Amino acid sequence: MALIARFVDTIASSPSVRLNTHDGSTWRLTNQSRFDPPPAKRARVSTLLTDGAIYPASAYEDRVLQLRWSVNAASTDAAATQIQALARELDRPNNIFQYQLPDMTNPVFFRTQRIGLDEIDILTDGSRLRVTAEVLAESCAYGLPQTLGSATVNNNPAAGSNGMFFDITGVLGDVETPLVMRIDHADVVETWGKQSVFAVRRRGTPSATPFFLQAESMTQGTNTTVQANDAAMSGSSNNFSRCTFTSAAMATRLSTSAHPSSASVDARGRYRVFLRYRKSVSGDEIDVRLQWGDSNQPITNATQSLPAGVSRRYTDLGEVQIPVGVDAETDLTGAPRSALGIHLAIQAERVSGSGNLDFDVIMLIPADDRLALVYWAAVGGPSYAVVNGVADAVYATNASDATSAEAPVVALGGLPAVSPGVTNRIFVMVDVNPLAAQDTIGDSFTIVPSYVPRYLHVRPPST
Amino acid sequence: MSLPVPLSVTLETSRRAMRITRQVRDLQFRTVVPGGYADCTISLHRPLTYLPDEIAYYGRLYVHDARNGKVVWEGRVEDPGRSAGGDGTVWKLVAIGPSAHVEDHRQVYVMIDQSLPNWERSTTWSEPGSRTTVTDVDDGDTPALLLEAPEGTTVPTGWTADMIYRHIKTAGQTVARLACEVDNGNTASWENRLVTRLSSGTIVDSAAWSTSPAALAASIGSGTPIPAGDNVAHVRITRTGGTITATAASWAEFTDVVILAVRMDASGNDITSGYSAATSVLASDVVTDVLGRMLPQFDGPNAVVATTGYGIEQFAFIDSATPGEILDALMEFEPGYFWAAWESGSTGLYRFEWKAWPGSVCYEVDVTDGIEAPGSAVDLYNRVKVRYRDGRGAIRVIERTQVVPELAAAGINRTGWVDLGDEVGGRQAQAERAGDQFLLDHRTPLNQGSLRISRPILDRTAGLKVQPWEILPGTIIRVRGIQPDVDTLNRSDRNGVSIFKVISVEYDAGSATATLELDSWAPSLARQIARLTRARERRLRKR
């Protein structure tokens, strides 16, 4: 297979060619061309108070493609025509340069930036030209887009499969890449405007993430007892707890001495805690809060006042960290230490009213990598909702992928990204709107994930 | 960590919400106390030929932590500057945090007023021959309103001398309580009266003349009720008997005159009870009133307002004030508290808190990333003089003292100065408190320096390791690597050596570093000019 070096219109297996700069007759990309990896830029902090420096942040710079061509035209006019064609391509604000070495299985694509003709060096020998250009390109080269099989994410952490998560493995590329998730629009639209959470865990063993704790498995506190199965609650058998507020003052209603119960390197991390609950009397004023950490000196998060309504809903109880406080993350060899679970307690008080408070499950969503809250519009119409990490945007499309005009969708935080060589677990909470009319265990998202692999250089055959 | 800084930036207007993280050239934001989110600056490459949908005056700018979705900074775009030059067309956006809302509005404001010069002679209800003055009682240095019929005046039945208080009406507020003590020259057929009025007047309390001092009082919602909505108050004497010729004893002295305005709760509803014995207001009650009355962009019903303890006996801004100035004045009486406005909630209103400085160390850090700690002795004082106007309007100066070991060892006395102006001084006890609070704050050297943090540090209060952009002001920080005293690990308050208050935090995404200002603002020419300008404006307004 011959070398491919050409400007194209899309990142695709058979793109339209805009200018072939290695066509075997007129254009030839010489072997003096270079596709060096991008340099890294770093924030560097150094004082004489300690040896060395620290690098609190780093990112890749744009890369420079040093392209050298020989142009063998039929005449001087033909040579000028070729240079004009090249100038037009290099003058475009953005372009795509496809590159594939001979006998390489797959191409890579560079997204290039505009450069001026004065940045092109042209040596002329009649109708023969030597052209040198240093073309700015995005830091990573791109592989062909990868669309994965759809994943059905169930809105029940106790579901047999994909209980509020789905996994992506075998990610191609050298570095992390933003994820695109296409979701059936009907799954995200309700009259109250769903608020969804997407979070990522892609280190260690993501399946060992202690991301939920059933209320009925916790120590039942003041006026709180385990209840018989309710199909609206998660879990099997006796599957929720009820507090009757015989004593209405703020007290511990549920607790556990350690979550997770065993020390684990995969327990380590920061988590955003959501409680799924249900009031029995809409107008009751009930406050809840989370205590966590060390049971002898617990940390108390902010108190949440539960809104009116008897729907099953989530309330945000703030963040926790496992382990609490100081964490020597590795031992002297650099191996990660296990982290012991933390004490968790749900406290509640009934300020006024007469009803009960049911506790279903506590969700601990990883909040130390990427977590996005998406506020969906409460209007129907489009076919799909798209969480697009590549474009850093959330929007809707019709069935043909045309962008659909819709009330603004707001996405806060970091949209998910996936990394090669690891299992990427994407956690999904369908609706954490505190005013949701109803959170339904039986709900699900059908998600079609896709991504574009990113490479620091070129693409090995299977990665 | 050594990854891109995980912050995301979003602009939102009525036309578009757009995530612009990858397009911003720089990102710096600052949080302060008092205030909360202060300002944020970003630069964007956009054409100048049209206004992009995501840029608008008062459009919202959000900075989120991409790891957990939390708001790191939020505000409104107020300065969308445009430029064109070597870098192309650049919009430099400066967003101001919700703290700016406290300067959106100015009005006359009265909570409690015991300053007698604020009462005026009422020409409508006073007989032409009557005399009304602000004076001192002969038997002490006690301010009094003196109402009298001059000796020799013919006084028929119904003859009246009247003084009026209008400032509550001017403020758009209503009267909650009016009280005083009154003494008379004789026991003839006269009556002392307290009157309140919206249109027609109501005698809310009265008593026949007596040569023994007696109390008069009325409150909204109490046994002698002031009608709801009344906004003007009078103190009055009226001849109830037949016609006489006035003698030297035809007078009434009203002392300890106190008028309180109806307060609002944080939702903006009038509080119509609880004034019957009130002679002071709490700073926390004033904060709640300001929230409900003047700060509609803050989430008053869900605000956290810590209860204060000191009763403020004089708090009236008859020359007007902004909510910011009111809150600043409250912090002079309660310097252990501060206010801050933070992120918006589901209602679109900003979270507000009035809280005490924490009693425990929050952050633990060392000096590896850099510190400047001048620790100047220029802010040590063992004496302070406090200027205020008393209830008669006379200028008073009192002195308070404390022992400062460093000054005592050097044999030096240094005297500070606190000017309470006209609005909030009023009472000697308040002046003494303001002086004592000043001395407390100047017992140990203020750091007035800065600390740089580029790595995660421990937040003991939250039990988390926090990144530099998560560090908040209004906290106490303990710094290792500085000469500790034997008490460093046990102390929870500022000691000027290794335990400091965090006054402001500025984060720069370009260097991934947070710069903390400690104990007080670092000296700068701009701040010195601003301080001098405010002081000059206060002096000019009074006189």
What DSSP element (H or E) covers B235? strand B232-239
DSSP state of B47: -
B276 touches A at CB < 8 Å: no
B369 touches A at CB < 8 Å: yes
A272 CB neighbours in chain B (<8 A) are 68-69
In angstroms, how far apart are the furthest CA atoms of chain B?
94
Rounded to 10°, the helix B323-333/B428-441 angle is 80
Q: Which of B515, B389, B374 is nearest to B446 (CA)?
A: B374
Contacting residues for B284 by C-beta, under 8 A, at least 6 apart: B305, B306, B307, B308, B354
Binding-face residues of B in 137-176 toward A, CB within 8 A: none
Which residues of chain A are under the pLDDT cut of 50?
none
B370 CB neighbours in chain A (<8 A) are 45, 47
How far A192 CA sits from the closest chain B CA (Å)?
13
A59 CB neighbours in chain B (<8 A) are 3-4
Contact across the interface for B465 and A321, Cβ inside 8 Å:
yes
Identity of the residue in B18, B68, B463 whose CB atom sits nearest the CB atom of A293 = B463
Please give the Cα distance from B263 to B312 (Å, whole number). Answer: 14
Contact across the interface for A57 and B3, Cβ inside 8 Å:
yes
pLDDT, residue B543, reads 39
Distance of CA A178 to the CA centre of its chain: 7
> Which chain B residue has its CA at the smallest distance from A410's CA?
B17
| Angle, vertex CA B325, rays to CA B320 and CA B329, nearest 5 | 110
Give buried/exposed letters for A282-295 (b at 16+ CB in 10 A, else e): eebebebbbbbbeb
A372 CB neighbours in chain B (<8 A) are 66, 69
A178 touches B at CB < 8 Å: no
Contact across the interface for B64 and A412, Cβ inside 8 Å:
yes
Q: In what order do the strands lie in the sheet with B201-208?
A: B120-121, B160-165, B232-239, B190-197, B201-208
Q: Which of B207, B209, B230 is nearest to B217 (CA)?
A: B207
How close are the terminal C-alpha atoms of chain B, in Å?
58
Distance of CA A50 to the CA centre of its chain: 36
B347 touches A at CB < 8 Å: no
Identify the residue whose tokens are 């099989």. Answer: A149
pLDDT, residue B526, reads 45
pLDDT, residue B370, reads 73
Partners of A108 in the beta sheet? A99
CA A238, A239, A245, A249 torsion: positive or negative? positive
Contact across the interface for B69 and A327, Cβ inside 8 Å:
no
A378 touches B at CB < 8 Å: no
A327 touches B at CB < 8 Å: yes
A320 CB neighbours in chain B (<8 A) are 463
Cβ–Cβ pairs < 8 A, chains A and B: 121
Residue type, B377: A
| Angle, vertex CA A231, rays to CA A225 and CA A236, nearest 5 | 65
Distance of CA A258 to the CA centre of its chain: 29
Contacting residues for A80 by C-beta, under 8 A, at least 6 apart: none
Q: A146-164, pLDDT tens digit by residue?
A: 999 999 999 999 998 899 9
Other C-beta atoms within 10 Å of B33: how many? 22
- In this prediction the ipTM stands at 0.79
Q: Which of A41, A45, A46, A342 to mutate to test the interface with B (most CBs of B within 10 A)?
A: A45
pLDDT, residue A191, reads 77
How far A65 CA sits from the closest chain B CA (Å)?
22
Tokens of A268: 């380590």
Binding-face residues of B in 291-330 toward A, CB within 8 A: 302
Backbone angles phi, psi at A161, to 5 degrees: -145, 150
In angstroms, how far apart are the furthest CA atoms of chain A?
98
Please give the Cα distance from A12 to B384 (Å, whole number). Answer: 78
How far A75 CA sits from the closest chain B CA (Å)?
39
With beta carbons less than 8 A apart as the criterion, state whether A359 and A275 touch. yes
Identity of the residue in A321, A324, A393 whose CB atom sits nearest the CB atom of B19 = A393
Query: Please, what are the averages of pLDDT over each run of 10 residues along chain B (543 residues)?
Result: 79 84 87 95 75 78 94 89 69 90 94 92 81 71 87 91 95 96 91 93 93 94 86 95 91 94 96 91 97 96 94 92 94 91 92 93 83 72 89 84 89 90 70 85 75 91 92 91 52 64 92 87 48 50 43
> Which chain A residue has its CA at the smallest distance from B459's CA?
A325
pLDDT, residue B38, reads 95
DSSP state of A453: -
